[in-house]
Structure 1
Amino acid sequence: MNSLLAFTIVMLIWTISDYVAKKTKALLSSLFVASVIFLVGFKSGLFPEDLLPSSSLLALGQTVVGLVIVHLGTLISLDEFKRQWKTFVIGVSAVVGIAVFMYAFGQIFLDTNYILSGIAAISGGTISIILVQDAAINAGLVSVAVFPVLIAATQGLIGFPLTSIILRKEARRIQTAYRDGTLATPKEHAVVHDETDDSILPAPFHTTAGTLFVMGCVVLIATVISGWTNGYLNTFVIALILGIILRRFKVLKANALNGIDAYGLIMIAILLIIFGPLATLSPSDLFDLIVPITIAFAFGVTGLLLFAFLAGRFLGYSKEMSMAIGLTALYGFPGTLILSEEAAKNIGETEEEVHIIEDEILPKMIVAGFSTVTITSVFITGILAAFIY
């Protein structure tokens, strides 16, 4: 297929996906809309199988995925996680709950490879999916590679409305406590990334090219370290850790890729990686995945809610807040921000009440999203991907 035509089609698909996501307030995520368009296009013959490779974006995404993982590390403020350590523990517990329930009960119905890829998809985002997809494709397991894509495309449809209901209950609880005078003084909003943070590197390395050069070096270092461990420590997990460390010591600025000229294109290229297997999936294989997806959600979400509830109860959080924290694994940021603000605005009857509710909920939800999707899921998936064969 002509490369310019392929590139243009992909950009049109993403334009439509973003538009629908904004109109539905992310209830229908851009990932879900794009998955439907690509799936229908490939299965109907409207799109050729080589659409994504021909666009040149697929190769770009595979090249720069490590840079995005380093970028995720620079989003994480260690100081904020210290302040919100209870939230972090609950978030980690939720991801562990997904893994435990999926592995313990899912094997009754599903092949181990589906369980491992399902854990990655339910507990994490794009990076986790890419990790298990790469392992599945290398093993020649196309349906296993597609499985997490379909889960990721639909998990927001479960996570958003369920979290919305739970957060509204939590908002009412906070409102009642505030009116009764029993609410502790609310903490300030979480600042997970501060864009005023600067890098100690010389000015030439603050440009688009300079930033990409530095982050490329970081990924190369992560690759070398992974090689020293014979791959036991995943390159991407090391890259995430290095991102956190380098942000802490201001070698890389917070939110490192944001604002550079190439950021938007890089993110589109990364997301396109996960759609690749859809081109070769047969309709019968797609139909066969319906039951595994249902089973994965049933056990995964049950484990998530149970472990989050138990951890929250032990740490003194309300059951509603604990379960909402756990559910961030299904969508992450910016859903954590949107749902928190909506709960506060819908329940608070005065401007002061809205701020009080938001100040109680938002810091926990923001940190929760990073603890589940960005950190714990990448660590767990980096380990589990090695067992797909």
Structure 2
Amino acid sequence: MAQMLALSIIVLVLFIGEAVSIRTKAWIPSIFVSGVLFLLGYWTFFPADIVALSGVPPAVAVMLIYLLITNMGTLLSLQELKDQWRTILIALSGIAGIIAALFGIGTLLFDYQTVVVAIPPLVGGLVSALIMSEGAAAAGFPTLAVFAIVIYVVQGFAGYPLTSIMLKKEGENLLTKYRNNELILKEMPTNQPGTVDKAVKEPRMFAKMPDKYNTDFFKFFRLALVGYLAYLTATLLTPVVEISPFVLCLLFGVIARSIGFLERHPLQKANGFGFAIMALLLFIFDGLKNATPSMMLEILYPLIGCIVIGVVGMYIFSFIVGKLLKVSKEMAFAVSLTALYGFPADYIITVEVINSLTKDEKEREVLTSHMLPPMLVAGFITVTIVSVILAGIFVGFL
């Protein structure tokens, strides 16, 4: 198969998944549709190495992981964390609930390695799933390598409807309070996680350098350099303590942004974010080439079991912490559930629910001010940050 034909086919698969997600207003996840199409392709006419043929070999994927995780670190704002500390504690408690439930109950039903591989993708996104898939394959567990990808592909089906139900109940309660003059409009944060603040002159360390020299290549260079420093640090620390370079990439990204060496979201500003995500998605779906129909049946039981047990643990822990912090059980659970999908699904679901509850523009503004910021911050913290840290730690348990 010619390289460009291979690339055209598999990018078309990604587009079909995206189109279905848009058409169904994210109720059917694009990742799920693309995953199913890749499986059908591998079971029929796809060459086993179609992703490598298209120009995305493993070395390119690893390079993009370094860039993407370092880029993630630049999105972290200490002020955002300070403003939404209750949200963060509840989101972290939900993740703790998943870990406790799966290690406490899951290990009685499934083997230890299955539980270890399941947790990071279940509380995270693309990068954590890829880290665990690669780690399982390297440790000699090919079935679990596929399992890590599949749990990432289907977990949204548990998160989307549950989140919608919780947010609708929360929205109805808020509307009742607002109509009884017990609720006011909150001031919305000007810069949500994952957005680019164009008003700030960044990077500060190069503020005096003319903008014409802050080219895309200069952004890529600084991003790559920070990623290399993270790798070098992890290598030097290996004799003392085993730390994943990917975890350090996240930390170094935060540091580089705080000292002004990197701007916020440099990969997006360098026009490389979309390509990086596309290539990484292709590479993670490449892991499905080993998924035979019999293997899919084999992992179906632990797949459903891990998701159900994890979500129950998440609800219990978020309910308890939400109660302590005086946050409603509906909002606490919704915030925790963002770990199952992250951005942009957290934004889409919240807006859809708000629009379905009222046609009054003022009421929509009030609901948005109370519901959207915590949902965005929670999705950012769980999927973008915590899941990568967990994957970096858990991959060492295999």
Give the corresponding residue for 2:221.
213
Shift of 1:329: 0.5
Q: Which stretch of the first structure deviates more once superposed, 125-134 or 204-213?
A: 204-213
Report whether the alignment pairs 1:367 with 2:377.
Answer: yes
Partners of 1:126 and 1:310 in 2: CA distance? 29
Q: Tell me the residue number matched to 2:345.
A: 335
Q: Which runs of 4+ in 1 moved over 6 A?
A: none
Change (3 A) 1:272 1:294: same
Tell me how far apart the structure 2 counterparts of residues 205 and 169 of structure 1 sit (CA, whole Å): 51
Secondary structure of the residue that 1:57 maps to in structure 2? coil
Displacement of 1:185 after TM fit?
A: 5.1
How many Å apart are 1:263 and its aligned residue? 2.5
Q: Which runs of 5+ in 2 are unaligned?
A: none
Please give the per-residue CA displacement for 1:143-202, whole angstroms capped at 9, x wherever unaligned.
101112111111111211110111011011111111122225523246223431321334
Q: What is the aligned partner in structure 2 of residue 191 from structure 1?
A: 192
Bigger mean CA offset, 11-20 vs 257-266 = 257-266
Runs of 5+ unmatched residues, structure 1: none
Corresponding position: 1:228 with 2:241: no
| Residue 2 of structure 1, CA deviation | 2.6
Deviations 1:192-248 (A, max 9, x none): 234313213344663222111111111110011111221622111111112122223
1:164-203 correspondence to structure 2 within 5 Å: 164-183=164-183, 186-189=186-189, 191-192=192-193, 193-196=195-198, 197=200, 198-200=202-204, 201=206, 202=209, 203=211
Of residues 193-202 and 217-226 in structure 1, the stretch that sits farther from structure 2 once superposed is: 193-202
TM-score calculated relative to the size of structure 1 = 0.95
Q: 2:259 aligns with which of 212, 235, 249?
A: 249
Aligned residues: 387
- SS of alignment partner, residue 381 of structure 1: helix
The equivalences for 1:257-268 within 5 A come to: 257-268=267-278
Range 361-370 or range 26-35, more displaced: 26-35
Offset, 1:251: 2.1
Measure, in 2, the Cα distance between the counterparts of 1:208 and 1:122: 34
Taking the aligned partners of 2:262 and 2:329, their CA distance within structure 1 comes to 38
Superimposed CA distance per residue, residues 62-96 of structure 1 (whole angstroms, 9 cap, x where no aligned partner): 22211001111122221111110110111111111
In structure 2, how many angstroms separate the alpha carbons of the residues matched to 1:125 and 1:262?
A: 19
Q: CA deviation at 1:250?
A: 3.0
Q: Which amino acid aligns with 2:293?
A: P
Q: Distance in 2 between matches of 1:233 and 1:311?
A: 30
The 5 Å alignment of 1:36-115 reads 36-44=36-44, 46-59=45-58, 60-115=60-115
Q: Does structure 1 retain, via aligned residues, the 8 Å contact 2:91–2:335?
A: yes
Letter in 1 for 2:203: S
Shift of residue 365, structure 1, vs aligned partner? 0.4
Query: Under a length normalisation based on structure 2, what TM-score does the superposition of the two structures give?
Result: 0.93
Letter in 2 for 1:373: V
Distance in 1 between residues matched to 2:215 and 2:96, nearest whole Å: 39
Partners of 1:95 and 1:153 lie apart in 2 by 18
TM-superposed deviation, 1:6: 1.5
Report the equivalent of 1:381: 391
Provide the C-alpha distance between the structure 2 equivalents of 1:261 and 1:357, rounded to a whole number of angstroms: 34
Aligned counterpart, 2:312: 302
CA distance in 1: counterparts of 2:350 and 2:259, whole angstroms? 31
Alpha-carbon distance in 1 for matches of 2:104, 2:185: 42
Structure 2 letter corresponding to 1:330 = L
On the 8 A contact 2:88/2:381 being kept in 1, the answer is yes
Let me know the Cα RMSD of the aligned residues: 1.6
Structure 1 contact 7–57 (Cα < 8 Å) conserved: no
